[in-house]
C-alpha cells in the first residue's frame, strides 16, 4: 500500500529518496482535514485573496480553479489550492454560520445528535432536525408518528410567543404542506379559528374578542344555528350600492359595507344576540336601493332595529319595499329616506306582529298600490315623526285591515308636496 486507507496519507516507502517530500505531503493533508473548520460552504468560485491555510467547502456548480470539485474541501496551501474529497461521516464546522455539518456520502447536511443536551455544553443549537432536515425557517424539525410533550412533576405549558400584535402566533394544520386549518393570534390579539379548502382562501369560523371574551361566528350560514355574538353596546352596519355582501358590514366604505339591505337584516337576525341594544342598518353613500327587504324571521335578544336610508331612496321596481312577515321582538324603525314602488306592490306592508315605526325624515313618493298597510291582528304601524308625501298611489296612503292598527302621536305634521292623487 502506498497510502493510508481512510485519509489517503502517503506512506514513506523503503529506500525512497527525498522522504521529507512524502512526509510533508502527509502533514499538509492532516493540517487541512483534521479538526476540520471551514470559513464558508456556499462559495462557487475561489475568493480573491485567501489566507494560507484557509479552508472552504466548495459550493454547487463551481467555476475557475474550483471547477469539478463541488462538495470537496478546498484548502489554500503554499500558494495553491488542494482538494480533499470527503468520506462519509466527516464533520465540519462552518465558521460564517456557526453550525456543524456532516458528509452523508452525497451531501453536507446539518449535524444532529441522538443524545441531546448539547454534549454536556449549553445545549444551544442554531438548527435541530430529528429524523428530518432543519433549515433557517423551520429551525426545529421533527419527522415522527407522534410527539409527546410531558410534565416534569407538575403541569406543562406549550408557549407560542410573537413580537407584536400585528404578527402571528398560531397553530397551522396542513395537508401535503398546504394549510387547511389555523387557530391562534393571526394578525392581531383576538383568537381566531380559520379553515381553508386550498391553502389560499381562508374563512374565519370562530372569533373570540380579546377584550370582552364575546364569541362571533363570521361564516355561520344564515339560519344555520350555532352560537350568536352577544352585543355589549349599540352597533351600526353599513350598506352601500358599491359594497359587497362578502364584506363585514362594519365600515362605511366599498371594501367594508354590504351591498343589499336583505343581507344586512338576515345577518343581524341570525348572528346576533341583541341583549336589549339597538342595531342600525345604515345607508352609507346616499344610496338608491332597488331591492326591498323582507323581515321573515325575528331577531334575538329584544332591542331594536333601525333602517336608516342615509338620505337615499328605497325605490322597488316590483313588489313590496318593506315586507314584515315575522313577529317583531322589538321596534323596527325606518327613517331618513324616500320610500316608493313603481310597478305593483305596497311600500310598507306589515302582516306580522309588533311595532313598525315610521321615523324621522321619511318621504313617501309616487307608488303603485298603497303607501302603508297594517294587515294582521297584532301588527302596529307607529307614525311618531313628521313625514312628507310627494306622490300619490293607486289606492290608499294608509290602510288597516284584518285587525291591523295604526298609531300616531298628537300634533304630527304631514307635509304634502307637489300635485298628486289617491285614486281610490
Element (H, E) at 24: helix 19-33
- The grid coordinates of residue 323 equal 315586507
Percent over 70 (pLDDT), the chain: 90
- 146 vs 30, which has greater pLDDT? 146
Q: What is the pLDDT of residues 210-232, one digit of tens each?
A: 888 877 777 654 334 456 888 99
Alpha carbon distance 407, 381 (integer Å): 6
Q: How far apart are CA 141 and CA 146, in angstroms?
A: 13
CA distance 306 to 282: 8
Query: Would you say the pTM of this structure is higher than 0.75?
Result: no
Name beta bridge partners: 281: 237, 307
Asked if residue 114 has pLDDT above 60, the reply is no
Given a contact cutoff of 8 angstroms between Cβ atoms, the answer to whether 19 and 36 are in contact is no
Residue 118 binned pLDDT confidence (cut-offs 50, 70, 90): very low
Q: What is the tens place of the pLDDT at every residue in 321-350?
A: 999 999 999 999 999 999 999 988 899 999
Q: Residue 140, SS3?
A: strand
Helices (H) and strands (E) in the chain, counts: 2, 34
DSSP state of 28: H
CA distances 264 to 26, 104, 239, Å, are 84, 63, 7
Q: Give dist(CA 178, CA 175) in Å, integer.
A: 5
Amino acid at each position: 500500500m502506498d497510502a493510508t486507507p481512510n485519509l489517503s496519507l502517503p506512506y514513506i516507502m523503503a529506500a525512497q529518496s527525498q522522504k521529507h517530500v512524502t512526509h510533508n505531503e502527509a502533514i499538509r493533508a492532516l493540517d487541512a482535514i483534521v479538526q476540520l473548520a471551514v470559513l464558508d460552504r456556499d462559495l462557487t468560485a475561489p475568493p480573491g485573496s485567501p489566507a494560507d491555510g484557509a479552508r472552504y467547502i466548495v459550493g454547487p456548480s463551481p467555476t475557475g480553479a474550483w471547477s469539478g470539485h463541488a462538495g470537496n474541501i478546498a484548502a489554500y496551501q503554499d500558494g495553491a489550492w488542494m482538494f480533499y474529497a470527503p468520506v462519509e461521516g466527516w464533520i465540519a464546522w462552518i465558521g460564517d454560520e456557526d453550525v456543524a455539518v456532516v458528509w452523508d456520502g452525497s451531501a453536507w447536511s446539518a449535524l444532529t445528535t441522538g443524545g441531546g443536551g448539547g454534549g454536556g455544553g449549553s445545549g444551544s443549537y442554531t438548527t435541530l432536525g430529528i429524523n428530518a432536515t432543519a433549515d433557517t425557517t423551520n429551525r426545529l424539525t421533527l419527522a415522527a408518528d407522534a410527539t409527546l410533550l410531558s410534565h416534569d412533576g407538575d403541569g406543562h405549558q406549550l408557549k407560542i410567543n410573537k413580537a407584536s400584535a400585528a404578527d402571528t402566533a398560531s397553530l397551522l394544520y396542513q395537508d401535503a404542506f398546504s394549510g387547511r386549518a389555523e387557530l391562534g393570534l393571526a394578525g392581531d390579539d383576538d383568537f381566531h379559528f380559520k379553515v381553508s379548502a386550498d391553502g389560499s382562501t381562508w374563512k374565519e369560523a370562530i372569533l373570540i374578542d380579546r377584550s370582552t371574551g364575546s364569541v362571533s361566528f363570521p361564516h355561520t350560514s344564515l339560519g344555520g344555528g350555532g352560537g350568536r355574538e352577544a352585543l355589549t353596546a349599540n352597533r351600526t352596519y353599513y350598506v352601500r350600492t358599491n359594497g359587497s355582501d362578502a364584506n363585514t358590514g362594519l365600515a362605511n366604505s366599498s371594501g367594508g359595507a354590504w351591498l343589499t339591505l336583505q343581507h344586512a337584516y338576515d345577518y343581524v337576525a341570525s348572528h346576533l344576540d341583541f341583549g336589549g341594544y339597538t342595531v342600525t342598518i345604515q345607508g352609507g353613500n346616499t344610496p338608491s336601493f332597488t331591492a326591498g327587504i323582507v323581515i321573515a324571521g325575528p331577531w334575538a335578544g329584544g332591542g331594536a332595529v333601525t333602517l336608516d336610508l342615509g338620505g337615499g331612496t328605497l325605490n322597488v321596481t316590483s313588489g313590496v319595499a318593506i315586507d314584515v312577515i315575522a313577529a317583531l321582538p322589538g321596534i323596527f324603525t325606518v327613517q331618513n329616506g324616500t320610500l316608493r314602488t313603481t310597478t305593483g306592490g305596497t311600500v310598507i306592508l306589515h302582516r306580522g306582529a309588533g311595532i313598525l315605526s315610521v321615523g324621522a325624515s321619511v318621504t313617501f313618493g309616487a307608488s303603485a298600490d298603497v303607501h302603508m298597510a297594517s294587515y294582521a291582528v297584532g301588527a302596529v304601524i307607529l307614525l311618531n315623526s313628521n313625514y312628507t308625501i310627494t306622490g300619490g298611489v293607486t289606492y290608499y296612503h294608509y290602510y288597516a285591515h284584518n285587525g291591523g292598527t295604526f298609531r300616531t302621536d298628537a300634533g304630527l305634521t304631514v307635509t304634502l308636496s307637489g300635485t298628486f292623487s289617491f285614486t281610490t
